[in-house]
A and B are shown apart, each in its own frame.
Chain A
Amino acid sequence: MNILEVTDLQKTFASQVAVNKISLQLGQGSIFGLLGPNGAGKTTLIRMITGIFYPDEGSILFKGRPFDPVHDIVQIGYMPEERGLYKKMKIGEQAIYLAQLKGLSKQDALRSVKEWFVRFEMQSWWNKKVEDLSKGMQQKLQFVITVLHQPSLIILDEPFSGLDPVNSNLIKNEIYELARQGASIIFSTHRMEQVEEICDHIILVNKGQKILDGTVSGVKQEFKANEWRISVDSKAAADPDTNLFQVMEYGEGRYTVRISHGFSPNDVLRYFIDRGIAITSFTEILPSLNDIFIQLVKGTPSARQFQST
């Protein structure tokens, strides 16, 4: 069963359409990537899913029933891109308070907070104030607060920004673990490379519209240019004269070739074998999500944003 089904969701601010007829499905235990440049409408979409905004049109089904913010909100954990905590409040107290607001009893909140603090080695922070923590520590605390109440839907907006590689990995592993236990995760980011390894399924949003929907491998297959990398042992001609493939790049025994329409990789291999050239490796080049996105929005201002990174 899909935990979340969003159909034709739309939201307009003043004259600007922030979210334009976006649909998506999220299966239980899956990790879902919501991608798009800044200002694409990701945050607005998330705010509708978390009940902060009412959609103008469209429907949201949560666990098969129409989404009711007042009751379903306790099953959602949301970490906004703009992190925030009460600076002057003690950390332990604050975590318990926020867990209670998510509907946990005081005892359950206390137990859960202690458990997570042990897991993230944060026990000694209990009586510190947020203002005394480093930025990375605040991020960890924010993540803990998001998942404390065992939500079945976790929404993370740019969860790795500001984290060092060690802490990024720590959080990444927790995300995998939560998904394994059955939580569904929506992962919103404009950093495409982070998503490739984590997400099962992605959608790409630009200017309020969904422009891509599929699994990471599926999308890559769809957008591949039939390019291969071939490394060879001995010296060979820099520009093989054939209509089987086009050489895109050559250097130190490595070819990057695009196979012509109507031929298969086997034809290419046979071409080299027939000429007695020893092949050391042969791999398909799949486009990165970043490349795909640029290809899709070529010429628009958002494309430039990605080329620069």
Chain B
Amino acid sequence: MSKIWLITRREYLTRVRNKTFLLSTFLLPLMIILFVAGSILVAVQTKSHHRIAVIDANGYFKDYLKGDSTMAFDFSPGLDTLNYEKNGCTAVLIIPVLQEGVKKECRLKYKKQLGLVATEELKEEIHHAVSDRLVFEKTGISSIQLDSVRSQADIAELSSYEDTGGKAKASNQGLASGISYASGFLIYLLTFIYGAAVMRGVMEEKTNRIAEVMVSSVRPFELMMGKIIGIGAVGLTQFLLWIVLLIGLAAAAQGLIPQDTMRDVQSIQQSNAMGGGGGVAKAGEAAWEIYKLNKALDSTNWALIIFCFLFYFLGGYLFYSALFAAVGSAVNEDPQEAQSLMLPITLPVVFSFIIMSIAVQDPGGPLAVWASIIPFSSPIVMMARIPFGVPGTVPWWQLGLSMLLLILGFLGTTWLAGRIYRTGILLYGKKPSWKVMWKWAFRRQ
């Protein structure tokens, strides 16, 4: 045991002392933030503006098609399908005479595609215009009156509560899927990063020929476990540093919210605490969003999520890193050789990631349930289900079974990898196939 500890300590210290550790710990989240912020910025900035010429046979669309910041309508009488481009329009819309009960085609002509978003928006606008017009024809209520009613109608807010038997618990689908996706993705990423680190470490020992010196002092299994545990500890350290970083950033973000908005948030909280009877008149949209986010954050079972995350991170890491170690022990200097042997390991991980993105949409579906129990995919898929609620979405028995199977699973892969490792680490020459490695694992030693 003390030898594993010595090896673990060396593996841990040489990695944590390395500059690349600090760099990757702080640069990786920064890069993710920059990437997300950048893509949002680009999406907002590059929204294209459309000016659409309208040829209206009914004569009333001028009053109903309103347009917005990204889309404008031009009803100038001289416009037709030949000169719309010269007049600065990107497309021309031809609306035939519409009759109640008869569906007709409104044609849009263009040289360059408007794009999916703009086309959807245009469809919406036309539908709106027609229904407003029909309302006016039947009841005499003008579109201006309708709009003013609409703007006042936003007084009911849907909040979901999970039925846990005794008392209802607030839940937030958006936040839950966010956490699901983030934790599933993080485990996916970390499994690869640290699994590959284990493999590289083993390959280094083999190509440096220190393996034989080492196994004359320690058993190969101790050497392998020391490395796996050491690198796992590096992963945990990195993860804890990220949590600290995240809390720091969240605090900083809270400081950026304007004072007025925060006051509104507080008044919403107070009024809802009094039974929801009072209501808040002029709380802004932003305040409502923050209030809902806060409520969801408060109601999320953070202790369970963090515990499960650590469990599934470690479980998944141990499950896969042992296999990565086995591959590392089997190959020689050439990284190309490792690629082909790694495929059977990387495939289930990538596959779990795909199942995870389905599980985020439908956390109770049979695919998500089974994939979250089988140890090959459970670390990634189960983490995507847990934020939706335990024991609501994920019954206790599923969580328990999944954890048990994962523990048995990594004991199994570690045993298997240990047997491949102790033969492979001392063998040079031709790259073995999986079949040969299988023989190493099951022959009598």
Q: Which positions in A face B, CB cutoff 8 Å? A: 47, 50-52, 54, 69-70, 73-74, 76, 78-80, 82-89, 97-98, 100-102, 142, 145
When the two chains form the complex, which single residue of B3, B14, B211, B217 contacts A84, counting CB atoms closer than 8 Å? B211
When the two chains form the complex, which single residue of A52, A70, A87, A97 contacts B208, counting CB atoms closer than 8 Å? A87
Inter-subunit contact A86/B210 (CB<8 Å): yes
Q: How far is the CB of B136 from chain A (nearest CB, A)?
A: 80
CA distance A52 to B211 in the complex (A): 11
B139 close to A (CB within 8 Å): no
Inter-subunit contact A101/B212 (CB<8 Å): no
A84 contacts across to B, CB distance below 8 A: 205, 208-213
Inter-subunit contact A52/B216 (CB<8 Å): yes
CA distance A80 to B428 in the complex (A): 14
Inter-subunit contact B210/A52 (CB<8 Å): no
B209 contacts across to A, CB distance below 8 A: 80, 82-84
B146 close to A (CB within 8 Å): no
CA distance A47 to B425 in the complex (A): 13
B336 contacts across to A, CB distance below 8 A: none
A50 contacts across to B, CB distance below 8 A: 216
B214 contacts across to A, CB distance below 8 A: 101
A47 contacts across to B, CB distance below 8 A: 426
Q: Mark B200-238, 1 if CB is under 8 A from A, else 0.
A: 000001001111111111110000000000000000000
Instruction: Given A54-B445, A89-B14, A101-B3, verify A80-B216 contact (CB < 8 Å).
Output: yes
Q: How far is the CB of A87 from chain B (nearest CB, A)?
A: 6
What are 18 sample pairs from A and B whose C-beta atoms fall under 8 A apart?
A47-B426, A51-B216, A52-B215, A69-B219, A76-B216, A79-B213, A80-B209, A80-B216, A82-B209, A84-B209, A84-B213, A86-B208, A87-B208, A88-B14, A100-B6, A101-B3, A101-B7, A145-B213
Q: What 8 A-B pairs are tightest by C-beta distance, nearest first?
A: A84-B209, A84-B210, A78-B216, A82-B209, A80-B212, A101-B217, A84-B208, A50-B216
B10 close to A (CB within 8 Å): yes
When the two chains form the complex, which single residue of A73, A85, A88, A89 contacts B213, counting CB atoms closer than 8 Å? A85
Q: How far is the CB of B218 from chain A (nearest CB, A)?
A: 6
Q: Which positions in B face A, CB cutoff 8 Å? A: 3, 6-7, 10, 14, 205, 208-219, 426, 445
Q: How far is the CB of B308 from chain A (nearest CB, A)?
A: 36
CA distance A102 to B14 in the complex (A): 20
Q: How far is the CB of A171 from chain B (nearest CB, A)?
A: 17
Q: How far is the CB of A93 from chain B (nearest CB, A)?
A: 9
Q: How far is the CB of B228 from chain A (nearest CB, A)?
A: 17
When the two chains form the complex, which single residue of A70, A73, A85, A97 contacts B216, counting CB atoms closer than 8 Å? A73
B211 contacts across to A, CB distance below 8 A: 84
For residue A97, which residue of chain B has the nearest CB? Answer: B10
Q: How far is the CB of A51 from chain B (nearest CB, A)?
A: 8
CA distance A142 to B212 in the complex (A): 12
Instruction: Given A52-B426, A54-B445, A100-B6, verify A70-B219 contact (CB < 8 Å).
Output: yes
CA distance A152 to B7 in the complex (A): 24
Which of A83, A84, A101, A145 is most buried by chain B, counting CB atoms within 10 A of its CB?
A: A101
Q: How far is the CB of A131 from chain B (nearest CB, A)?
A: 10
Instruction: Given A97-B6, A97-B10, A101-B6, verify A82-B212 contact (CB < 8 Å).
Output: yes
B208 contacts across to A, CB distance below 8 A: 84-87
For residue B215, which residue of chain A has the nearest CB? Answer: A52
Inter-subunit contact A102/B213 (CB<8 Å): no
Inter-subunit contact A80/B217 (CB<8 Å): no
CA distance A233 to B163 in the complex (A): 119
Having A47-B426, A80-B212, one finds 16 other A-B pairs with CB under 8 Å, namely A50-B216, A51-B216, A54-B445, A69-B219, A70-B219, A80-B209, A80-B216, A82-B212, A83-B213, A84-B210, A85-B213, A89-B14, A101-B3, A101-B217, A101-B218, A142-B213
Which of B10, B208, B212 is most buried by chain A, counting CB atoms within 10 A of its CB?
A: B212
Q: How far is the CB of B364 from chain A (nearest CB, A)?
A: 50
A86 contacts across to B, CB distance below 8 A: 208, 210
B205 contacts across to A, CB distance below 8 A: 84
For residue B426, which residue of chain A has the nearest CB? Answer: A52
A102 contacts across to B, CB distance below 8 A: 217
B213 contacts across to A, CB distance below 8 A: 78-80, 83-85, 98, 142, 145
A78 contacts across to B, CB distance below 8 A: 213, 216
A145 contacts across to B, CB distance below 8 A: 213
B210 contacts across to A, CB distance below 8 A: 84-86
For residue A69, which residue of chain B has the nearest CB? Answer: B219
